[in-house]
Structure 1
């Protein structure tokens, strides 16, 4: 009996599958973060920064106010949040009064000689505001988009994980009597009736059909996924295909180039 040839999943397939898992996993995590908290935290920073800009403008316009009068004015102001409260973090105080630093006339006066954003940046660092303010706020539609893409990426991640787990447990094998496909079972060579090799040379794909009760069974041989074609490993997929062809007695479908067709001798005239 001929030695059994077993083609297991190749490192090429495993690396690609792991790369896809990492890619979809990272994307899913990023979109989940933005949809659940990230965009809302950026919105909070945006509206707080808007309050600081408004306070600076009003302080410049009301320089005649005394520190007490400025405090009274500032205490009556609130951070300009939108009506849709779903776009800011859960638990955000609405209405929110201006931060205490904006009530301090001396600090406001000193900030006029500094970079416009410095007062807010200092406040953001002291209060632990996690995100920088974006150029414009994100509305509820943008936040919903993050959730939609998250579910798409998660679905792709789960699909890639399923394919990986299913494939690593499989193999295709052949011995001196039969073929053992990746989806299980034993197919004697005598039951093989057709072999399609048109994609074997270019894509490492071949298809076999075997007889079975009630019709035919189609068998896929993917040499790039199972076995591979590395010469240092003995080209396992090619060795398996050679064994199949040595024992195959059915119809073979192969790709014939135009040059090969033209080189065929002409049929003798009858």
Structure 2
């Protein structure tokens, strides 16, 4: 394989992380943080509150309605209603038995409350903790990328990870994802002769396209590009008379 000709430009290209990347990562960290807090809120307050409503429904059906049925069977409905009212229990209206749907509606509760198990409550804390850890990880990545740059000089370029690559050592470039994702991959050999892959990310680093152009200037290695889709038959076939 012939060595790639070195670019002649002496301009140092410095590509810094784009605002788009910081905004995207910031939004992701914020979403993960809010999700984590929501999980923790449900575990601490939401699920226990829902369980209280479910337990209230069980009490309503097993205790209150049972006592009402017993009073009705004994013909002591009025005495039961007076005693229930003194205790703050729902007593029904117009001589009708108390109904859970009316009691729940007055309290703003669901008609069919769900009772969560201890495991389901514990899972909210696990999910909350895990999501908050993910938010923290994204925030750390965001901070670590603040001062990263992609640099291109006369004879070499430097990746954001600090790896220096000579243009002459690049033997393969894959541009297939470039048009859609702004990504290109450059294979090169290190000092030990091992093949390595470097990423040129135009969405993350402002002006990375200029670095790619400099890598390709005089490049004689293998260039992999996306093959354009064939035109539709309707566009290529002339209409028949």
Q: Provide the TM-score with structure 2 as the length reference.
A: 0.69
- Structure 1 CA distance for aligned equivalents of residues 113 and 228 of structure 2: 61
Q: Where does residue 64 of structure 2 map in the other structure? A: 55
2:210 corresponds to 1:239: yes
| Residue 66 (structure 1) shift | 7.9
User: Secondary structure at 1:144's aligned position in 2?
Assistant: helix
List per-residue Cα deviations over 1:20-64 (Å, max 9, x = no partner).
212211111111122233211221233234434542552464262
* Matched ranges for 1:137-216 at <5 A: 137-214=115-192, 215-216=194-195
* Matched ranges for 1:98-117 at <5 A: 102=84, 104=86, 111-113=92-94, 116=99
Q: Which 5+ residue runs of structure 2 have no aligned equivalent?
A: 1-8, 231-241
How many residue pairs get matched?
214
- Structure 1 CA distance for aligned equivalents of residues 229 and 128 of structure 2: 51
Cα distance 1:145–1:134, how it changes in 2: closer, same or farther (>3 A)?
A: farther
Q: Which 5+ residue runs of structure 1 have no aligned equivalent?
A: 72-101, 126-130, 228-235, 261-270
List per-residue Cα deviations over 1:169-204 (Å, max 9, x = no partner).
312111223211110143333333332223223321
Q: Which has the higher contact order (CA 8 A, sep 6+)?
A: 2
Cα distance 1:43–1:133, how it changes in 2: closer, same or farther (>3 A)?
A: farther
Q: Provide the TM-score with structure 1 as the length reference.
A: 0.63
C-alpha RMSD of the superposition: 3.6
- Structure 2 CA distance for aligned equivalents of residues 212 and 220 of structure 1: 15
Q: Tell me if the contact between 1:5 and 1:240 (Cα under 8 Å) persists in the aligned partners.
A: yes
2:220 corresponds to 1:253: no
- Structure 1 CA distance for aligned equivalents of residues 69 and 229 of structure 2: 85
